[in-house]
């Protein structure tokens, strides 16, 4: 009924939408050290401040929840719909080629920059959906709320705080996923592990190893420092490992030490097959080196055996499994720190509905402990599932099909979206299957036409639920 008005309005606001998005993308909103009044550091707080300013400028009633979440309300009556998006981002590398991560650039119909796809671009699409309804004075019977958080990439403690004081809306979606709609998110087994051992005197030996910062990212870089190792031995092993893994190895000598760098390709841990894990490639190389036998070295070799390069489905751990509804299990070794006396790391597993504590958690625990590596206690995070035949799913698919002309079917994913903990929440946009947005990787981008379409689509859904 209101489609022509909404579509025309969104198209007329294209340049302003991109300016608002660029303003958010310029903010490095990675979580950093807590500061007074800034629980996730300066960057996330600044992103929330900027988003709240935009919502106020466009006439929404806003509220800041202790610099963890900001909200923007519009419409009369009871709240019917929450739209959740997050403004924090994952770490960046120096390997961007199109632009720098926090210098947004429009090129060939895309906008590049960290957060353009995950999740600042989708947040702007949601904001402009509400703005369109407000400025066109379209009739609503109930209200809609934008909920913009700032800690999704590090565990969503922002939403835990928010929902400790607010109730879940009757309907909730987040544009922190894919079209047409995600109704199933796999279980997650994200566990730390560690081991202690004595300092080895025999040479050659590994002095330290460092890879990864966050468990939900396949590490694109890794570094190790060796003592007593010859350049010739390293050159031969590196060439063989590069051929086998596709990773790149470079090194430099400082005194009697060699600092080695491994470079792969970063990716989201829910799709580890899309990346090239620099950490597992480095472990593969270490196994080929003539390192003196020691307890610490044996622990690294055990990790190389349990998390072999290219094994993204847990075969070596004997936990590979799948089901028809949710697909196959994925496994990623994301973080590792090694010194001469200690190692600690984190793996990230996304598990189908058929996974249990017995056939997954305890199997992995036993495999690690068999090699003297202790895994932290605790159960996996349960899967999130909203049945495909629910009225809400049907409404979302109707709008999707209306705007795309494509028959939509609910999706199951390994990633945990921003609504994983919400009983009735689903992910609705903004990614499309045919486009690799380099989410969590270098040169992240968003197709501008997809941002515009998403804003129109979201407005359509708001009118159906609240109008």
Domains in the chain (CATH in brackets) are 3-186+383-466 (3.40.630.10), 188-375 (3.30.70.360)
Q: What is the pLDDT of residue 414?
A: 86
Q: What is the pLDDT of residue 376?
A: 98
Higher pLDDT, 88 or 155: 88
Higher pLDDT, 148 or 326: 148
Please say if the pLDDT value at position 365 is more than 80: yes
pLDDT-based confidence at residue 416 (cuts at 50, 70, 90):
confident
Count other Cβ atoms within 10 Å, centred on residue 215.
22
Evaluate the CA torsion angle 432, 436, 437, 439 in order and state its sign: positive
pLDDT-based confidence at residue 24 (cuts at 50, 70, 90):
very high
Please say if the pLDDT value at position 440 is more than 90: no
Please say if the pLDDT value at position 316 is more than 80: yes
What is the average per-residue pLDDT within 149-162? 96
Q: At what angle do helices 120-135 and 448-466 cross, to 10 degrees?
A: 50
Q: What is the pLDDT of residue 415?
A: 77
Q: Provide the token pair at 117.
A: 């796809």
Q: Round the average pLDDT of the chain to a whole number and report it.
A: 96
* Whether this model's pTM surpasses 0.85: no
Please say if the pLDDT value at position 1 is more than 80: no
Q: At what angle do helices 120-135 and 3-12 cross, to 10 degrees?
A: 120
pLDDT-based confidence at residue 410 (cuts at 50, 70, 90):
very high
Please say if the pLDDT value at position 47 is more than 90: yes
Q: Give the residue among 350, 372, 351 at the shortest CA–CA distance from 298.
A: 372
Higher pLDDT, 136 or 415: 136
What is the average per-residue pLDDT within 173-179? 95
**Span 55-108, pLDDT tens digits:** 999 999 999 999 999 999 999 999 999 999 999 999 999 999 999 999 999 999
- The C-alpha atoms of residue 438 and residue 381 are separated, in whole angstroms, by 26
Q: What is the pLDDT of residue 325?
A: 87
- The C-alpha atoms of residue 86 and residue 69 are separated, in whole angstroms, by 9
């Amino acid at each position: 009924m209101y489609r022509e008005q909404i579509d025309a309005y969104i198209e007329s606001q294209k340049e302003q939408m991109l300016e608002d998005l660029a303003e958010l993308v310029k903010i490095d909103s990675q979580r950093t050290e807590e500061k007074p009044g800034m629980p996730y550091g300066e960057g996330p707080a600044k992103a929330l401040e900027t988003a709240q300013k935009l919502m106020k400028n466009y006439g929404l009633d806003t509220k800041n929840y202790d610099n963890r979440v900001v909200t923007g309300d519009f419409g009369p009556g009871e709240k019917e719909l929450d739209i959740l998006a997050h403004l924090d981002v994952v770490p960046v590398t120096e390997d961007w080629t199109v632009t720098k991560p926090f210098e947004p650039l429009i090129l060939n119909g895309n906008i590049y920059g960290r957060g353009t796809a995950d999740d600042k671009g989708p947040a702007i699409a949601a904001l402009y959906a509400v703005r369109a309804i407000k400025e066109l004075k379209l009739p609503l019977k109930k209200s809609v709320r934008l909920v913009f958080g700032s800690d999704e990439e590090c565990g969503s403690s922002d939403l835990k705080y928010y929902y400790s004081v607010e109730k879940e809306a009757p309907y909730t979606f987040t544009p922190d996923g894919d079209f047409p709609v995600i109704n199933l998110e796999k279980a997650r087994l994200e566990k730390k592990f560690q081991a202690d051992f004595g300092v080895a005197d025999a040479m050659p030996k590994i002095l330290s190893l460092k890879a990864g910062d966050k468990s939900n990212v396949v590490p694109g870089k890794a570094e190790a420092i060796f003592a007593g190792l010859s350049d010739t031995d390293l050159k031969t092993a590196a060439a063989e490992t590069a051929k086998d893994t596709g990773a790149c190895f470079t090194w430099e000598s400082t005194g009697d030490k060699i600092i080695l760098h491994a470079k792969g390709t970063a990716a989201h841990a829910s799709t580890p097959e899309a990346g090239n894990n620099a950490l597992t490639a480095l472990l593969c190389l270490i196994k080929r080196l003539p390192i003196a036998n020691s307890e610490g070295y044996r622990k690294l070799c055990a990790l190389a055996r349990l998390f072999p390069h290219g094994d993204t489905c847990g075969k070596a751990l004997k936990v590979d499994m799948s089901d028809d509804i949710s697909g196959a299990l994925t496994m990623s070794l994301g973080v590792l720190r090694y010194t001469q006396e200690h190692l600690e790391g984190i793996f990230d597993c996304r598990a189908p509905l058929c996974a249990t504590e017995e056939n997954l958690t305890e199997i992995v625990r036993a495999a690690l402990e068999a090699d003297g590596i202790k895994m932290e206690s605790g159960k996996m995070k349960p899967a999130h599932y909203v049945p495909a035949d629910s009225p809400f799913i049907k409404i979302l698919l109707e709008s999707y099909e209306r705007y795309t002309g494509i028959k939509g079917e609910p999706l199951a994913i390994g990633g945990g979206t921003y609504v994983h903990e919400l009983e009735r929440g689903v992910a609705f946009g903004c990614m499309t299957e045919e486009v690799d947005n380099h989410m969590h990787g270098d040169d992240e981008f968003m197709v501008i036409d997809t941002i515009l379409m998403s804003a129109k689509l979201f407005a359509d859904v708001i009118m159906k639920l609240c109008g």
